[in-house]
């Protein structure tokens, strides 16, 4: 979560827009920063590439731990409903479920300053 660090976010909000999007290149400042560290075809690649991952299986295996970590909730998120709808979301849109869980983890770690156990 390095780009979710509060200092990085604050720095990003202070940047002029052309550092963020320049001649239709999103994340321009990061791309320029990485020119010496990554091959040009990676830096200037337009299509975001991830890696294959069995998200549904992972959510199934880690369900109990996820429930413990998100308990207590955060403002504006009904964690009770989220956990009640866990199985439906896992089956119909696991990426949406993961985005909700990620926001909850981020909030607890960065705003509430809670130590979260590793996923293991």
Domain boundaries, the chain: 2-43, 55-111
**What is the average pLDDT across 30-40?**
91
- Which pLDDT belongs to residue 117? 62
pTM greater than 0.85 (yes/no):
no
Q: Answer positive or negative: Cα dihedral of 18, 22, 25, 28.
A: negative
pLDDT over 70 at 50, yes or no? no
- Which pLDDT belongs to residue 49? 63
What gap in Å lies between CA 44 and CA 78, rounded to an integer?
Answer: 39
- Between 119 and 81, the higher pLDDT residue: 81
Mean pLDDT taken over the chain: 83
What gap in Å lies between CA 12 and CA 85, rounded to an integer?
Answer: 35
- Between 46 and 72, the higher pLDDT residue: 46
- Which pLDDT belongs to residue 112? 83
DSSP string, 2-67: GGG-HHHHHHHHHS-HHHHEETTEETHHHHHHTTTTS-HHHHT--S-------HHHHHHHTHHHHH
List, for residues 53-90, the tens digit of each pLDDT value. 889 999 999 898 888 877 776 777 788 888 899 999 99
């Amino acid at each position: 979560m390095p780009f979710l660090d509060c200092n990085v976010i604050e720095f990003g909000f202070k940047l002029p827009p052309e550092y963020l999007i320049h001649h239709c290149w999103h994340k321009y400042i990061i791309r320029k920063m990485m020119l010496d560290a990554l091959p040009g075809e990676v830096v200037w690649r337009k299509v975001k590439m991830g890696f294959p991952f069995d998200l549904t299986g992972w959510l199934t295996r880690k369900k109990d731990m996820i429930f413990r970590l998100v308990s207590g909730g955060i403002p504006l998120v009904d964690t009770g409903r989220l956990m009640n709808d866990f199985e439906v979301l896992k089956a119909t849109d696991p990426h949406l479920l993961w985005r909700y869980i990620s926001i909850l983890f981020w909030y607890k770690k960065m705003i509430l300053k809670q130590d979260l156990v590793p996923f293991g």
